[in-house]
Structures are given as structure tokens and as C-alpha cells.
């Protein structure tokens, strides 16, 4: 039955009045209350700061390129590189020195095919990188991306249904191959797997596949809510994984939807996800907040994606903004929204500032 507008207006008025009375009871008005008292200097502001960002909150992504002697600058992501395994030593040393606890690995393989079979090879580029990093820094946590867009010749995140006019991803055909890829990465030494393709049923399939091979201790950091965003553009240059036809809107989320995100999260929780992720971060702070409110027990991960990074970098290079201040403000905002873990290409720069 519709609520009468006059009744609703009266109800809102009473509610606002009750809140006003309550606030005046707890907090006396000006001049007794002066909010500026706690903002007078750096030490006082730090003492009462509600949200604390630390290097321990950050994960740094790395792009591992096949070959040797490679450290290719990524033009749309200044400060980031495609690196071959033999170039990782100084990179890993810096990450450890900055007390960043984890890296997220993406691979650029030597060859691609329709199934992405190079992703599960024992001598695959990411598998080699995992073993190298474990030898250099055993204490560093390795999160392995589990997807196919970098490994398939068509650039999509799984097996495509060739019988479909709109090129839908075939989840049933993709799931066994995701398990195959994940097992190969874990056998190489990955500490966490992060399925990123938004393939229906991926968490359940991976949990069952890992458990069946005595890897029940390996956590799943699921890309639970991944929007079909225009902010991934620079990443597609970095990982060389742009779709060769169509787009990913048939399996990634519509950016206008929020309630759908709650359902995606509920499904991943029921299938055994250990951590939930929202990607991108800056444009979806409301989604981070909603998911954290719904599942406060589970670690909340937010991915500040390549386009978000590139926009800040570009505006900073133009002198239009103070890049460092904007970077720290946005990272803090992501944490304030509810993120426990932030994946960011700014992780090293932020950690340097936080160390000061």
C-alpha cells in the first residue's frame, strides 16, 4: 500500500528532530563544541586520525614477461614495467625493503592459443617467477592471478562459445582449465590464488580442485565483483590481453548495478571464498562499503586499477594536481570505505611516503 506523502513528510520531520535532539544531548553546540580544537597541528591530527593506512595494507602487481634481459616501460603506466624473470632481483629487494607484504603476478607468455594452455605449464613464465621470488624472498607472499585473458589468442577470460552470436564465455568448459592453471601455480609455490575472470562457479571449482590435490590450506582471493569497466585500458597494454573481438560485458558486471554485487558476494561466500574483492576501487567505494557491511568477517580487497593509476599520474605530470597528496588521499579513502587490502600500482610510492 503506498505511503501518503504528507505522512511520510511528517515522519521524516520527527526523525530529523529526534536526531537533532540526540546530537545536542551528546555534543553541546558551538561555542562549547569547537571542532577545530583537534585539527591544530600535525601531531594532534595524527593522534585522532580514524583511518590508518600502512604498507601492510598494500599489494604490488608485477607483469612477468617471457624472455631474458627485459624491463620494458609501460607507456600508459609510468613507473611500471614488463619484466623478465632474470630482472626480478632488484625489484623484489625493493618491495621487501619497503615492507610491502605481497605481490600479485600476471604473465605475458611466449605463445598463446584458444585455450590459454601456456598458463598451466610447469615452465610457464609465472611459474618460473614464483620459484625465483621464493628463492629471493621466502617471506614475501605471492598471489597468483588465475585467468586466461593474457594467455588466449582471442584475449577473453576463458573458452568462448563459438556457436553464440554474442561470443558468450562458456563457463562449464572454462572451469576445469582454471583448476588446471591454479594447481600448476600452487605447485610452483604460490601462496594465494586469485581467480579474476568472473566465471560463474569458479570459486567452487577451484576450492574442490585444490582440496582434492591436498591444497586445502591455499586461500582463494576471489575477484568477486569485477565491473566491465573502461578503467582497464592501460592494463590491457601492460598484460597484452585485450579482447580480439567483442567485449567482456557478457561475463563482467554492469557498472550501474549495486544489488547484483551483493548476490555475487553471497555466491562466492557460499562457494568458499576466503577473501572478497571489488574492482575497480575509486568509482566503486559504495560497493566496497556495502560488501564489508554485509560480510565484516571476511577480508575485503580493493583493486585500484590501471586507469585509476594512470589518471592520477597524468594529471600529476601536467602539474594540475599534487600527485603524492592525491595518491594518499585516494588510497586512504579506499581503506576508509572498508578495504582491508589494497592492490595498487602506487604501492611502492605510498610505502615510501608512509615510511617517512
Asked about 352 being catalytic, the answer comes back as no
The Cα–Cα gap between 129 and 12 comes to 59
Among candidate residues 112, 132, 279, 335, the one labeled active-site is: 279
The Cα–Cα gap between 2 and 289 comes to 30
Q: In 3-state terms, what secondary structure has residue 152?
A: strand
Among candidate residues 132, 134, 180, 226, the one labeled active-site is: 226
The C-alpha cell of 85 is what? 624473470
Q: Are strands 221-226 and 58-65 parallel, antiparallel or unpaired?
A: unpaired
Unique residue bearing C-alpha cell 616501460: 73
Report the first-to-last Cα separation within the chain, whole angstroms: 60
Q: What are the DSSP calls for 31-91, one per residue?
A: TT--GGGGGSSHHHHHHT-S----GGGEEEEEEEESSSS-EEE-TTSTT-EEE-GGGHHHH
Asked about 180 being catalytic, the answer comes back as no
The Cα–Cα gap between 18 and 114 comes to 63
Report the catalytic residues: 226, 279
Amino acid at each position: 500500500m503506498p505511503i501518503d506523502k504528507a505522512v511520510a513528510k511528517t515522519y521524516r520531520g520527527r526523525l530529523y528532530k529526534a536526531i537533532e535532539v540526540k546530537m545536542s544531548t551528546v555534543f553541546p553546540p558551538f561555542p562549547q563544541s569547537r571542532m577545530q580544537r583537534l585539527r591544530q597541528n600535525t601531531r594532534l591530527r595524527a593522534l585522532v586520525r580514524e583511518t590508518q593506512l600502512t604498507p601492510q595494507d598494500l599489494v604490488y602487481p608485477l607483469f612477468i614477461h617471457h624472455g631474458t634481459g627485459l624491463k620494458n616501460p609501460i607507456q600508459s603506466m609510468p613507473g611500471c614495467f614488463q619484466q623478465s624473470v632474470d630482472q626480478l632481483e632488484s625489484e623484489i629487494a625493493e618491495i621487501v625493503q619497503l615492507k610491502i607484504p605481497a605481490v600479485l603476478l600476471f604473465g605475458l607468455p611466449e605463445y598463446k592459443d584458444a585455450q590459454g594452455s601456456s598458463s598451466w605449464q610447469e615452465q610457464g613464465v609465472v611459474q618460473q617467477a614464483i620459484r625465483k621470488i621464493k628463492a629471493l624472498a621466502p617471506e614475501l607472499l605471492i598471489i597468483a592471478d588465475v585467468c586466461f585473458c593474457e594467455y588466449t589468442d582471442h584475449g577473453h577470460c576463458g573458452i568462448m562459445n563459438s556457436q553464440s552470436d554474442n561470443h558468450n564465455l562458456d563457463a562449464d568448459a572454462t572451469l576445469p582449465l582454471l583448476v588446471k592453471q591454479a594447481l600448476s601455480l600452487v605447485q610452483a609455490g604460490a601462496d594465494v590464488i586469485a581467480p579474476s575472470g568472473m566465471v560463474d562457479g569458479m570459486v567452487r571449482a577451484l576450492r574442490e580442485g585444490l582440496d582434492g590435490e591436498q591444497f586445502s590450506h591455499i586461500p582463494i582471493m576471489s575477484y568477486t565483483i569485477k565491473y566491465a569497466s573502461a578503467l582497464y585500458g592501460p592494463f590491457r597494454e601492460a598484460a597484452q590481453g585485450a579482447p580480439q573481438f567483442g567485449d567482456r560485458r557478457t561475463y563482467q558486471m554492469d557498472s550501474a548495478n549495486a544489488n547484483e554485487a551483493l548476490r555475487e558476494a553471497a555466491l562466492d561466500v557460499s562457494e568458499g571464498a576466503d577473501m572478497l574483492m571489488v574492482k575497480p576501487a575509486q568509482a566503486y567505494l559504495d560497493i566496497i562499503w556495502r560488501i564489508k557491511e554485509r560480510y565484516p568477517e571476511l577480508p575485503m580487497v580493493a583493486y585500484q586499477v590501471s586507469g585509476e593509476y594512470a589518471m592520477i599520474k597524468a594529471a600529476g605530470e601536467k602539474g594540475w594536481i599534487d600527485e603524492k597528496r592525491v595518491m594518499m588521499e585516494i588510497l586512504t579513502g579506499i581503506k576508509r570505505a572498508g578495504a582491508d587490502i589494497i592492490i595498487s600500482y602506487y604501492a611502492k610510492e605510498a610505502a615510501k611516503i608512509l615510511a617517512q
